Amino acid sequence: MKALVVVAAAALLAFANAPDRASADTHDFYKGKRIRLIVGLAPGGGFDLYARTVARHLTKHVPGNPNVIVQNMPGAAGTVAANYVYNMGEPDVTILHFGGTQILNHVLGDSATKFDGRKFGYLGAPTANSVICFVRDGTGIRTMEQWMASKQPVILGGVGRGSPTDDIPRFFQETIGLPIKVVSGYGGTSQVRAAVERGEVSGGCWDWGSLRITSREDFESGKFIPLVHATTERHRELKQVPLAIDYAKTDEARELLTFVAHAYNTIRRIFVVPPDTSPKRLQVLQKAFIDTLNDPALRAEAERSKMQIDPIDGPTMTRLIGDLYKLSPKAKATVKGIVLP
C-alpha cells in the first residue's frame, strides 16, 4: 500500500510539473537558435516593412530569445515563397509572411500552388488591408466618374496573379466595367510604384497601409491620386474616396465585391509556419507574435513609421482561412473565371 501511495504521489507530482517541463523544453529549444522569417515579396514594399519590424521585436517574446533573420524570396506574388516554406521550410524555426490571396488560388485549384492552405500554422496578421486604386497626376483622371467614363483603359502595374495589384482590377472590370489594362510581372509593389513614377504605367491597386508609408508625400502633394476603395468601408484617412461597391448595378456584382473586400483585405497580410511545426511550438509562436504586436516599443516604432497595427490572432485567422474553402461551387466558378482564366 505504501508503495502504491508513493507511485501515485510521484505521478501527481509529474503531472503538476508537466507545464513547467513543457515550458522549459520550449525555452531550451529556441535558445541559441535562428528563426528565418521569409518574405514572399521584394524588398522595399509594405510586406517587407512589416516583416522587418516584427523581426526586430519578436526575439524578445519567444522563449530562449532566438535570433530572427529576414530573407526576401519574391516570385509569383508570394507563391514561390509559399511553395518553398510548405514543402522545404524547416518546422519550428521558419516563418513566412505573404499574401493570403495565394491561399485563394489554391482554393480555386491553381496548379502553381503546391500547398494546402488549411495545413499551414497561422500566427495571425498585424492588420487587415485597405486596398485602394490610384493613378498618377497627368492622366487626366482625377475622380472615379472620370475613370468610369474613360474611352481608353487606364494602365495599371501588377505583380502577378493572386496579388491585389492584378486581381482587384480584373474584379472591377468584371463587376462595374471599369476600363483597365494590367501590365504584370513587376517584382513587388515598390517596383510598380517606381514604374508609376517613370510613367511606364498610370497607377496601381494595393494596400493603403503600405502606400501611406512608402508614398505619403506623393499623395499629399497630389502626384498620386486615390480613386476607389476595394473594401466595404472607407478608410478613415480617405473618407472622400468612394467604394467600388457603390458602383455595382446588380446583386451578383455586389456579392462579388463583398467577397473581394474580405478575401483581399482581411486575410491579406498573414504570418504562417510550415505544416509540420509542432502544435506546442505553434502556440508559443502565436502568443509571441501577438505579444510582439502589442509591445510598446513596436507600437512606438509603428507610430513613427505610420504603420497600422490592429492585430488578428492565429486562431481567428485559421477560421477565416477555413471559410475560404467553403466557397459555394457557383461563386467559386465565377471567381475562378476572374482570378484564373
Give the type of residue at 162: G
Residue 21 DSSP SS3: helix
All cell numbers assigned to 287: 502568443
219 contacts 212 by C-beta, under 8 angstroms? yes
Sorted by where each begins, the domain ranges of the chain are: 23-128+269-339, 131-264
pLDDT at 5: 44
CB neighbour list of residue 168: distance below 8 Å, 6 or more residues apart? 131, 133, 205, 230, 260, 264
pLDDT at 8: 45
pLDDT at 315: 97
pLDDT at 98: 95
Q: Which CATH superfamily is domain 131-264 in?
A: Periplasmic binding protein-like II (3.40.190.10)
63 contacts 23 by C-beta, under 8 angstroms? yes
Q: Can you give the pLDDT of all 341 residues of the chain as single tens digits?
A: 444 444 444 444 444 444 444 444 566 899 999 999 999 999 988 899 999 999 999 999 999 999 999 999 999 889 999 999 999 999 999 999 998 888 988 998 999 999 999 999 999 999 988 999 999 999 999 999 999 999 999 999 999 887 899 999 999 999 999 999 999 999 889 999 999 999 999 999 999 988 988 899 999 999 999 999 999 899 999 999 999 999 999 988 998 898 888 888 888 899 999 999 999 999 999 999 999 999 999 999 999 988 889 999 999 999 989 988 887 887 888 888 888 76
- Hunting for cell 522563449 — which residue is that? 63
45 contacts 188 by C-beta, under 8 angstroms? yes
On the question of a common fold for 23-128+269-339 and 131-264, the answer reads yes
pLDDT at 16: 45
How far apart (Å, rounded) are the C-alpha atoms in residues 309 and 313?
Answer: 12
Q: State CA 143 to chain mean position distance.
A: 28
pLDDT at 150: 96
Query: Does the domain formed by 23-128+269-339 have CATH 3.40.190.150?
Result: yes
